[in-house]
Structure 1
Amino acid sequence: MQVWGKILGAFFGFLLGGPFGLLLGLFLGHKFDKVRSNIYGGGFGGFTSGGNQADRQAAFFHAAFAVMGHVAKAKGRVTAEEIRVASAIMDRMGLQGESRRQAQDAFREGKEEDFPLEDVLVRVRQASAGRSDLLQFFLEVQIQAAFADGTLHPSERQLLHVIARMLGFSERQLEQRLQMQEAAFRFQQGGFHQQYQQQGGFRQAPTRDQLADAYKVLGVSAEATAQELKRAYRKQMNEHHPDKLAAKGLPPEMMELAKQKTQELQAAYDLIRKEKGFK
């Protein structure tokens, strides 16, 4: 329940106008709280019990970029680098026109000092009840954004732990995702993902570190057997398959990220198979 508007309105109203000012401040504060409730409460981005699929998808999209803006603010003021990172993610999604404007507006909302992070995350979790893959995708988007500049600031890590906990993930699960994303960043920087996409295969042998990152992308150790590798690959592909995520409510604007993730998993899996001689 939003009450801060009424409290602050009544306080400053009394200071400025005595009892009459208190009543006026209380009234204006109530109006303010009602507006905030519509934005961040029951009607935030369509997270309502009666909302249709399109409303819920729009809500998920808005919340993802708003929380992303909040993560960007974790290190202090949002710098040009954080804005560049957000723009790069929008580019990866292929966002243009109205969709891009909505993402930018949501990102700016998340940077506000009074952004109700916990309220938003509670509603994301409630709206995605029974769809853990969708919640995992939401968390991974935040991790990707935090890692997009190649480093993870301690304050970003701390905030990601808060986000993960609010979404129902343990510390161990988050740390595993962080390790996987860090490896994915290096894997992408190494050019193997792009080479695989452009040439349909690998034209050069990977280094030991690149092969190790490929294992981490799939969430398995370098000692994994062929069967363990295949099981991990299938599990990851099942969790990130665009069609399955779409059926669970992933916004169409975010589908490109899911496709890129499956391509990354495929590239890592094929690289390991080729190097180890697995079938």
Structure 2
Amino acid sequence: MNTDHYNNELISILQKHQSGSFYVGTYLPPEKVRNATAHFPIPRQETILGLIDCTVFGSCKNGLAITNNGLIWKNDWATDSARTSLTWRELIDLKESIQALEFKVIFAHNIHLGLAGSSVKPTNFIALCYELIDFFVSTESIHQQHHQDDTNNDDIDPSLLSKCILIKLVARFVKSDGAISRKEIDFIEELFDVMSNHDATEKRIFINFFNKVKDMSTPFEEITNALRQNPATDDEDFFSGVYELLWELALIDGQLSPIKHDLLKTLRWQLGLHQSAYEESAADHLGAGFNKDSKPKGNEVHLTHLNSYFELLGCACNSSDTEIKTAYRRKMSALHPDKLQSKDLAEELLQFANQQVQKINVAYEEIMKSRNY
């Protein structure tokens, strides 16, 4: 896995658990890092991604460092431990024995981490450990699956292999015309939810695999051939479903790019579908008046989505620019992070509010763009 991407994935997990004395990523205080490096047994080559300060006065001479390679800590005089570090592999192996006891975490009968003096509760830290373990298990699984895929191993489960091939196809398709948008990411996450039957570990496997293959230049024909040759996909309904999925993904941002449009024409026959499959999908998604011999104009596709943008802002299509700007500012003010945090809302509600802010920004930008701003 790419090192930067690997570290960023770890940081994103840690950020969900950070608290008063738990510092992550760019929020690591330099003085605490220097003290931890001086007092913890941290090898010079390791990168500190997270730091838990377990000192009452904030010196961070005792505590835990979460690095790219594992956990490294220094206990106070009251907590004995035969070891003060665990690699990620060792943490995975100890998953079943991890338990909380008052102010410390017990990894094994003689391996203890003291958290007294920090704001992190042992039970919360164990929840973080479980999430990290799931991440590393999924990373290992997808590495093994990818290796098997490349070596064309006949022992691979056809169903799992078909999912991996489909992920390759989606990854290549979504990256075909440039960067991946926020809406495309949300769409793909929902797809992986369905593909994994809402299993968090399997979904993580799919996400890791997607990130691994999205920048590869594997020819589309090679991917579709592998999909058609897989025993688990010998059903025309399956390929029709894949083709419909690609159409939805192509239009998720409200416009159909010429690159994706050309690909949809090509992929129709590469997936073994009749010419009518393209014509029917184009009519369904672009309107009954779509001319199958011409390319869609971006504005024609875009206009079909403007109504939903006006609805999101609470405006009518004939609202003036001033009315639209006023509605936009009112919505953004109501969802401002400082205002919501002052109300002490649950984390889930704050996350939902952040998602709404993104949608409102997109709606406003697209409406203004349609008016030639």
TM-score by length of 2: 0.33
| More strand, by proportion | 2
Larger CA Rg, structure 1 vs 2? 2
> Relative contact order, CA 8 A, sep 6+: which one is greater?
1
| More helix, by proportion | 1
TM-score by length of 1: 0.43
